Amino acid sequence: MIASIVLAVLIPCLFVYCYKNAYKRPDKFPPGPPSLPVYGAFWIVLFYEFSNLALAFKKIGEKYKTKIIGLYMGPVRTVVLNDPADIKDMLNRDEFDGRVDIIVGRLRSYWKRLGIFFTDGYFWHVQRRFSLRYLRDYGFGRRDDTLESAIECEIKEMLDMRLSGPKFPAEKDLVNGELVYLPHFFAVPFINGLLQVLVRSTFPRSEYHKLWDLSRGVLLFQRSSNDMGGALSLTPWLKDIMPNYSGYNGLVKGHQYLLDFFHNIVSEAIATHDPTYDRHFLDMYIRKMKEEEKLIGRSTYSVDQLVLICSDYMFPTATAVEAVLMFLTERILLQPEIQDKIHEEIDRVVGRNRLPKLDDRRNMPYTEACIREMMRFETLVPLGVPHRATVDAKIGDYIIPEGTMVNPNLMMMNMDKDIWGDPENFRPERFIVNGQLNVALDKSLPFGAGKRLCAGETYARQAMFQVFAGFMQAFHISTADGRPLKEPAPRIQGIITTIPEFWLRVVPR
């Protein structure tokens, strides 16, 4: 009897509490869906689109007639920006340069806040400034003949794997007669190119299998981040209850490839370090670390931080740039006329007797425009890497409280009809005026903006041109079975968007 009375009182009280909590929000906070128990409005977001959160926020914005959405994703107060002007404004303001402290960031950095991607404040400022300042000395962020030559050598090896056939056992996993396996077939020039920047050396072809293992590991990590819709970030305790289903085990296993890979490289650099001579970027960092420890007894520089800096720069190198070229080859299969135009331009500008060089970019507007259009058409990171308001700030008519997670919906920017006219069409010509590439027409932000701009933008753009132009110069591509491709592959959402790996038929021209 007493238990029945208690329940009769508690249940209505619980209902009232949940109802009030569902609509509780700070003053002048943007409108958005109510919060439900445990996951807040995340339940509603998943209801709109389980596998595409950027599209879900587009629909929610339409539902609430707002381009600035405010909601609670679990316990995390969140704002999503759907308007291109608001997105650019936020990305270029210092008060939104913070990062959210989430489990994905912690588990990849020895359960500390290390690296560049997921850190902020003074630590981030010092580490980012040092790395960018001295990586430029080795070709990162600028034109560098040594780096261009190193990537060209790797492209020749990539092409030879198909033209002459596999030389080492691991190559048989990526080359089978006329077929090559994407995206990993593209991986080595990008990975070895970055290693040329970091340590002034590359892995020989006999050891390419280590680079492919790294590429597979990073791909596993980024895809595992979206298991169960990304619920692990909101409820970290899922790692203890369902480590496989929540994606936790995949995250740990995938990123361990990166940590082990660079721990070995950094350990070797420390063991052979000569304080009187800098061989490469790692030497410069190690020297700075030891100098600070000697002068003040402590330092923001550390061995673990060096491993994470290298990992942060390698992560997009081992996945994102390959994903762009993978999407581009799929688009060529869907629109075969693109291949004819690329081949005509390469033959006219470069010919067949040498590989395309960076100097050729200005004379190959269509090839370059294809890469740019691909990064617009397929938004690689639809909601960007989450930002955090470091102080109370205003966007439009709304107040964004300190600590709020802020996501730019870059998909909305890339598919805005007011900007692009026909965003649903893949049309590289939109960037070409009077036969010349006009970069001012490219309003997309695939590398972000402001102080959080991806430091590898210049490297990525240059390397993608070299690899893609060299690949298309050598081959005519088609589907593995020779049939026309009728529709795109399903998209896999993770830290970046990818498609399932596939075999591609490549025939020498």
Task: Output the known binding site for heme.
Answer: 454
Instruction: Identify the DSSP state of 444.
Output: -
Beta strands in 5-101 (DSSP E): 68-73, 76-81, 98-99
For residue 102, give every residue at least 6 positions away whose Cβ sits within 8 Å of its Cβ, in sequence order, or none: 118, 233, 386
C-alpha distances out from residue 381 to 185, 193, 447, 475, Å: 22, 23, 9, 29
> Hey, what amino acid is at 126?
V
CA distance 181 to 503: 5
Token reading at 253? 């296993």
The dihedral formed by the CA atoms of 119, 305, 141 and 370, expressed in degrees to the nearest 10:
-70
Residue 287 exposure: Cα atoms within 13 Å on the Cβ side: 14
Instruction: Write phi, then psi, for 188 (nearest 5 degrees).
Output: -60, -45
Q: What count of Cα atoms within 13 Å lies in the side-chain half-sphere of residue 405?
A: 20
**Which residues are known binding-site members?**
454
**Residue 71 and residue 78 in contact, taking contact as beta carbons nearer than 8 Å:** yes
DSSP 156: H
Burial class (CB in 10 A: 0-12, 13-18, 19+), 327: buried
| Nearest 10 degrees: Cα torsion 322, 325, 329, 330 | 70
Helices (H) and strands (E) in the chain, counts: 19, 13
Are the CB atoms for 174 and 506 separated by under 8 Å?
no
